[in-house]
Amino acid sequence: MSEGKKTAREIIEGYDGPAVRIMEVCGTHTHEIFRLGIRKLLPKQVELISGPGCPVCVTPVSYIDEAVYLALEKSVTICTFGDLVRVPGSKKSLADARSEGGKIHIVYSPADAEKYAKEHSEEEVVFLSVGFETTTPAGCLSVKKAKEEGITNYSMLIANKTMPQAYEALKGSADIFLYPGHVNAITGTKLCEELVQEGVSGVVAGFTAKELLTALAVALTHFQKGKPFFVNCYPRVVTEEGSKEAQRLVDTLMEACDSEWRGLGIIPGSGLRLRDEWGMYDARKKYQVPKMEGRANPACRCGDVLQGKCKPSDCKVFGKVCTPQHPVGACMVSGEGACSAYYMYGRE
Ligand code: SF4
């Protein structure tokens, strides 16, 4: 990236425009920007704030309660990504459930969970399906495969979410969104382009140092012009239409529903659930999971962190009571969480 002879880094370091708040929608961006030392290049008036793009972080406490209920009351085997095991529920985490005899099995993909169910036909197996547009297709594939293979002991507890509605809900929180490239690879860029009409500016960013510096430099250059803008700075992966194949797969199995986001509350139409014809793979229906209220630790400010309203270091228990070894909230547990990034790389 160059503007005249300037490199992206020079544009960022030399920025002398108005104060600007840039939201790292994606937790991976937060971690990479810290890890690569990019924060140190930013002039004072450029503020980076965290957003809601860490799937484990935005999953509400009530979801953990549902998973604990399934493990302890229904004796199902929970297959899950490792991060979710230590996220506190209202009373217990899945780690607590495991110490009380619950069967918690760590997997690296929904396909692993489906395979586990196939190989353990004597167990009832539930995969904890959380994540955004990037991970949802793999969950759908696992359900499709289970149906093709006649597997009846596999289902998913679904908390998958879609980003567009979150952008709408967060419209006033930042001057510029740093859109997550891997999500846009699936969804395309149409929605981001449409948001410009509503005054929302943003750039799609990749994940390497060069891609992140380019995206930030482009964002700052456009911001100074004073008009809403959108630029796809990750064109080697992101196209306007996205992945039609993934979109078709998800649309075949799932439909939109309202969804609760930690800190943001219920955002209409921002969640996904299996369509009725796939209902036998929906753990909530299969095991008649009661509605859980979910109460977070009152000291935890994950909700504010996820909306960019405060920095992790503004939380009173950050780094004291709450550490990666003893997390109080989801943002300290997850490898993509903002609190964990601040703890690992800096305490600004
Ligand atoms: Fe929650 Fe811990 Fe982050 Fe505070 S530091 S907001 S308690 S995760």
Q: Is 339 helix (H, G, I), strand (E, B) or coil?
A: helix
pLDDT tier at 136, thresholds 50, 70, 90: very high
52 within 8 A of 267, measured Cβ to Cβ: no
Mean pLDDT of the chain: 93
Residue 22 has pLDDT above 70, yes or no: yes
Q: Is 294 exposed, middle or buried (0-12, 13-18, 19+ CB in 10 A)?
A: middle
Residue 307, CA atoms < 13 Å, CB-side half-sphere:
15
Which superfamily, per CATH, for 2-56+165-228? HypD, alpha/beta domain 1 (3.40.50.11750)
**Atom 7 (ligand 1): residue with closest C-alpha?**
300
pLDDT in tens, 60-76: 999 999 999 999 999 99
Closest approach atom of ligand 1 to CA 319: 5
* C-alpha 270 – ligand 1 centre gap (Å): 24
Ligand 1 pocket list (CB less than 6 A): 299-302, 305, 312, 315, 317-318, 322, 328-329, 331-332, 339
Residues in the chain: 348
> Which two structure tokens, joined as six digits, stand for 263?
């800190």
> What is the Cα 18 distance to its own chain's centre?
30
**How much is the pLDDT for 4?**
58
Phi/psi at 143 (5° precision):
-70, -40
Write out the H or E segment, with its range, that includes residue 331.
Answer: helix 330-333
Q: Where in the chain is the domain with CATH 3.40.50.11740?
A: 58-162+242-286
Cα distance between residue 185 and residue 14, in whole Å: 31
Calpha distance 205→29 (Å, rounded): 9
Task: Write the pLDDT tens digit of every residue in 35-69.
Answer: 999 999 999 999 998 888 788 999 999 999 999 99
CA 173, CA 309: separation in Å to the nearest integer?
8
Q: Is 348's pLDDT higher than 60?
A: no
Instruction: Please give the distance, rounded to the nearest whole angstrom, from the Cα atom of residue 40 to the centre of ligand 1.
Output: 23
- The domain covering 58-162+242-286 belongs, at the CATH homologous superfamily level, to HypD, alpha/beta domain 2 (3.40.50.11740)
Give per-residue pLDDT as tens, 81-112: 999 999 999 999 999 999 999 999 999 999 99
**Separation of CA 301 and ligand 1 centre (Å):** 6
Average pLDDT on 129-136 reads 94
Distances (CA, A) of 22 to 29, 93, 122, 233: 12, 33, 50, 15
Element (H, E) at 96: helix 94-99
Outline which parts of the chain fall under CATH 3.40.50.11750: 2-56+165-228
Which residue reads 């990666």 in tokens?
324
pLDDT at residue 3 greater than cutoff 60: no
Task: Find the 105 Cα to ligand 1 centroid distance in Å.
Answer: 26
Q: Which of 302, 321, 325, 334 to mutate to test the pocket of ligand 1 (most atoms within 8 A of CB)?
A: 302
Find the 94 Cα to ligand 1 centroid distance in Å.
19
